[in-house]
């Protein structure tokens, strides 16, 4: 992909993206361009909180309810897991099991387990399991494929 950056003397800041096909790289650039639009509304003790995607470690669906986990807090969110995944796609989130999406940027370490599973240690020390169904795609994602 070719990049062109120009500084202008006056006017409004503007980003223009020209593409031939909607590749994964183009999708990541689009997601970056729209990042300010992506905020997740969560609830904690009947108080509504605006969460930035980069502070969310993972999102999990439990008993029909969806929760966003940050380093120290858990927030109930009023999105299905599929809707949360759509909002967070392109911001380095990855579906790691049927009921969870994980923020790749919050992973501190990875360990391969038997049956093609992966133990992901998060920056806060919590361990999450990447199921074998999603593990090979996760490895490809980390390699940039």
CATH, residue 76: 2.40.50.1020
User: Per residue in 78-120, pLDDT tens?
Assistant: 989 998 998 887 678 999 999 999 999 999 999 999 999 999 9
d(Cα 20, Cα 75) in Å, to the nearest integer?
Answer: 40
Percent share of the chain, pLDDT over 90: 57
Residue of 120 and 27 predicted with greater confidence: 120
pLDDT at 28 over 90: no
Q: How many domains does the chain have?
A: 1
Look-up: residue for tokens 């993206």? Answer: 17
Supply the range of the domain harboring residue 105.
24-142
Position 4 confidence tier, pLDDT thresholds 50, 70, 90:
confident
Position 109 in a domain: yes
CA pair distance 121, 20, nearest whole angstrom: 38
pTM for this predicted structure: 0.73
Asked if pLDDT for residue 36 goes beyond 60, the answer is: no
In the chain, what percentage of residues exceed pLDDT 70? 94
In a domain, 107, yes or no: yes
Could you report the per-residue pLDDT of 59-69, keeping only the tens digit for each?
A: 999 999 999 99
Query: Is 27 strand, coil or helix?
Result: helix
Q: Classify residue 7: in a domain, yes or no.
A: no
Sign of torsion, CA 81 84 85 86? positive
């Amino acid at each position: 992909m070719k990049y062109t950056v120009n500084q202008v003397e006056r006017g409004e800041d503007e980003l223009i993206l020209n593409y031939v096909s909607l590749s994964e790289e183009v999708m990541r650039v689009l997601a970056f361009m729209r990042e300010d639009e992506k905020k997740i509304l969560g609830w904690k003790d009947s108080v509504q909180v605006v969460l930035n995607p980069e502070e969310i470690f993972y999102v999990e669906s439990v008993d029909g309810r969806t929760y966003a986990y940050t380093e120290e807090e858990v927030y109930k969110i009023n999105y299905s897991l599929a809707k949360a995944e759509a909002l967070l796609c392109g911001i380095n989130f990855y579906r790691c099991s049927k009921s969870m999406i994980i923020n790749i940027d919050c992973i501190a370490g990875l360990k391969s387990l038997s049956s093609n599973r992966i133990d992901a240690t998060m920056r806060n020390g919590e361990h999450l399991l990447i199921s074998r169904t999603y593990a090979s795609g996760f490895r490809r994602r980390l390699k940039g494929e």
